[in-house]
Amino acid sequence: MDESFCRNSQSGYDFEAHWNNTYRKIPVNSLGWFEAEPKPTMELIKRCNLPKDALIFNAGIGASTLINELIAANYSNLIVNDISASALVALKQQIGNNKNTAIQFIVDDLTNPSEVLLKLKNVDLWNDRAVLHFFTTKEQQNAYFKLLKNAVKVEGYVILAEFNLQGAKKCCGLDVVNYNEEMLQENLGNDFKLLQSFNYTYTQPSGNTREYIYTLFQRTA
């Protein structure tokens, strides 16, 4: 791994620097998770049948083209988050002049959230593709799910799309945790009901493939 990725922070590794370096060095459409069209996510979002002013929180969105799909679908109450300020700069470039909606940008660590994320409430949809699987310690996972449960309202939805058990063991030079639907359900607990899940083979810009599991949950209590 590039030495500049290895600056130490209190937790032993500087993930913020890692992701900032990644987004500074690699063009968005060459990233190993770039999707020209985020079809599986949009299918699950359509299934939620949310009103257009629903609060949609996009965890670790990076520079995803999803933002333009959400704008095109007239969702008007969007929050985008990433640990990397550079990712959100690239996201703003994706949006370009396509600005007919209110978007709140939050640069923050989902596993060590500051006040803005801790105040997040009444979320109608929490959307995560390829973010949770980077949280390899119990402390990181607990912090992430605590934040999610604090933010998502009763009857709100959660989309978690992560590498499945057959999936890659590393991404972007980092270790990952592979998931199945039972593991995601166990982390969410009994207040969340699984509505749909499917495996999905994603093809990277390089032509290689990555195996994901997509899950849609709804909060019941």
Residue 120 · residue 79 · CB < 8 Å: yes
Between 82 and 124, name the residue whose CB sits nearer to ligand SAM. Answer: 82
In the chain the beta strands, taken as DSSP E runs, fall at 55-59, 77-82, 102-107, 123-129, 152-163, 170-171, 174-175, 192-203, 209-219
Q: How far is the CB of 38 from ligand SAM (least distance, A)?
A: 7
Shortest separation between residue 132's beta carbon and ligand SAM, angstroms: 9
- Candidates 81-89, 96-104, 181-189, 203-211; binding stretch for ligand SAM (CB under 6 A): 81-89
- List phi, psi (to 5°) of 11: -80, 0
Judged by CB, which is closer to ligand SAM: 133, or 219? Answer: 133
126 near ligand SAM, judged by CB under 6 A: no
Sheet with 209-219, side-by-side order of all strands: 102-107, 77-82, 55-59, 123-129, 152-163, 209-219, 192-203
Residue from 15, 75, 202, 214 in contact with ligand SAM (CB under 6 A): 15
Q: Within 13 A of 157's CA, how many CA atoms are on the CB side? A: 21
Q: Which of 91, 87, 80 is nearest to 17 (CA)?
A: 87
Binding of ligand SAM at residue 61 (CB under 6 A)?
yes
Among positions 126, 134, 163, 192, the unique one binding ligand SAM when judged by CB under 6 A = 134
64 sits near ligand SAM (criterion: CB under 6 A): yes
Question: Closest CB to ligand SAM among 107 and 191?
Answer: 107
Site residues (CB under 6 A) for ligand SAM? 15, 19, 33, 60-62, 64, 81-84, 87, 109-111, 129-131, 134, 171
